[in-house]
Structure 1
């Protein structure tokens, strides 16, 4: 299982002041030196954390490295706004290894649900085709719904990223409920495997709940940022990255 470090929170801290401190490229290099297999960013139109220039910078850093994948996630329908050129323009310009499509809006604090492909299938189909024509692996942010995952396969995407927010919250508050939710994720994962889809996961995964979630059938990649940044405040960034790598491996 690969660990992709989400660098959004590093950028969020930087954006609270003028200048480039903390330096997002320096933290990306620290993560790579510690052994991560991927870097993830989520450039939103409001540029609350990752900016288009950050994507350019990190793409240039990761692209020569065969052992590190670059994942750009976001809303494929996000249009140009001010200095934000539009999500698809950012992706096509930078040619990441993977693009994770997420149905978030500008009003959301963070991603909090997967796609409803009954509504978005027709709009997403040309986007998936365009990304794949550029050799970019396409992953869709999804809830653990086998019917919806079947539609991901029909859409032609390569992977799903299971939204783990409800699981993480339940793991903290009600372990029995967390196990029930995890069982739903296992059913969804097995459906994806049967269809030949790859499986990623992310949102509020941490060193504690990963003890269970890492046993998900076929799990190939987890994207972790918020919890790792919080742990880094306590134990240091390099140590936090290595602890998450230890859990993943």
Structure 2
């Protein structure tokens, strides 16, 4: 399967801290890849690098066949950030229809996306009056109107109720079946089984990459939580062994 994203020997330094340590990974086209790891593991920094808004120390990131950050990618990538990226003094409908117009989408299609993210009842509500979860859904709707080839979502289900989380994942799956590539970050391990492939990251290093089944098989367990913990233990033991050799 062709790759939508290729990451090779990527190192990112912020201030005096190395956030990503020479990592390599790939994201296949037309599938849902989960980027999973605890808070502070480097997920958001990696995502910022993929969408071209992060300075890197070394390494390469290729997105849809072009260097990350290329001007040609702006209309081909949809990006949902953890921080809401909508106009607070406009209604949900005004925000979504505005962004839709920039990408040639009609008002009726934009309104359908509002319904899809569960904001039909709040469509005429000013964004600053929304709850935190509703605010995030408004941002997600604006990312979806780009009709992207690649959709990058940074923890899109955080703060959402279980029913809406299920509905959002159904939407994500429908997009993938339509040929869209999705990269979705999360620290919620039970969302991992919804993905076609996973990239597990901790402390700026890749612990494992592959299908959920392949990762659990490698760790010798059927439980992804346990698999992650065992892979963390392997990483710690490997680091300790290297340290002893250096000494």
| TM score, norm. by length of structure 2 | 0.40
Higher helix share: 1
| TM score, norm. by length of structure 1 | 0.40
Query: With CA pairs under 8 Å and 6+ residues apart, which has the higher RCO, 1 or 2?
Result: 2
Higher strand share: 2
Larger radius of gyration: 2
